[in-house]
Chains A and B, each alone.
Chain A
């Protein structure tokens, strides 16, 4: 059996000198959440990131994912795309709730979904990811208070959960090869691994 797809808590923690703050950097397929005054940073191409926080307690977190291209009708509620996307969102939200956040206090800011893989794939992967995250949050009654999605540029996103502030830098001049490469590897993993948990007990 293929290894299962699983969302991971980011492990790349560092001290960010620019913002004089503890920081967590998240990669595709990862998430991070905190109740502390720190920042969470990621670089997005066609992937999307949802920054979700409790606006009362300041507990917040960010994920970073894309929908797998699992064949069949990706819009169907039982497609691999939908199942994985919903799972990626649920993992982050469950952790926030467990940390003490309250669902009724949630607000979200969403980023990414740029058409940066154009030329590599026939469909606009970024747009599909962006649409999913908007629709998911609407269905779950989580208000989107800010967004910067689609377009063709990669983005670097800094999220400060305690205040809710987000800084987005569009990367126009950068050599994006590393980013594109990383997303392709991630997309490939999603495609080859079963969109299924690997625990099989009783």
Chain B
């Protein structure tokens, strides 16, 4: 497990889903979690600073998760922040688009704490290697 103080931003337009992800993260030992209800809200919160990790849905009103990801990667201050896409979209073209936009991982709903844990560990591992 990485630093338990890692600050997460969970972006999803369903409050039920945000609650599920928040609780799964808590089960994994991460309780420093804030929420945003769409991509625009998420991006504004990220720009205000302080976040270490983004877990985002794809389909959302105002700004979808893919657009938010692209804006994150285009912003010099945010471009390095890891983004895990968590979505109900299981189509190959969605997964490819997310990878091309610079997503660090992709999880298809409905997922388990174990899957989330595995993806997070993988991402933290890669970051450590890149940093070393």
**A residues at B contact (CB < 8 Å):** 4-6, 76-78, 80, 82-84, 86-87, 89-91, 93-94, 97-98, 102-103, 136, 139-140, 194-199, 201-202
Contacts and interface: CB of A to CB of B under 8 A. Distances in A.
B107 A197 contact: yes
Interface residues of B, number: 27
A95 to B, nearest CB: 9
In the complex, the 10 A-B pairs of residues with the closest C-beta atoms, listed nearest first:
A197-B108, A87-B110, A83-B110, A77-B23, A94-B59, A199-B108, A86-B16, A78-B23, A87-B109, A196-B112
A29 B107 CA distance: 21
B15 A97 contact: no
B116 to A, nearest CB: 10
Nearest to B57: A90
Interface in B25-64: 27, 59, 61
Given A6-B90, A86-B14, A90-B17, A78 B109 contact: no
B19 interface: yes
A87 B13 CA distance: 13
Nearest to A82: B20
B23 A201 contact: no
11 contacts: A77-B20, A82-B20, A83-B110, A83-B111, A86-B14, A87-B88, A89-B14, A140-B15, A197-B109, A198-B90, A201-B99
Contacts of A93: 14
Given A97-B61, A195-B112, A77 B19 contact: yes
A136 B111 contact: no
Contact of A140 (B14, B90, B105, B109): B14
Contacts of B61: 97, 102-103
B106 A195 contact: no
B97 to A, nearest CB: 12
Contacts of A195: 110, 112
A197 B15 CA distance: 20
Contacts of B20: 77-78, 82-83, 86
A136 B16 CA distance: 7
Contacts of B112: 83, 194-196
A89 to B, nearest CB: 8
Nearest to B86: A197
Contacts of B105: 202
A199 B14 CA distance: 22
A90 B113 contact: no
A5 B88 CA distance: 12
A85 B16 CA distance: 10
Scoring A83, A98, A195, A198 by chain B CB atoms within 10 A of each residue's CB, the highest score goes to A83
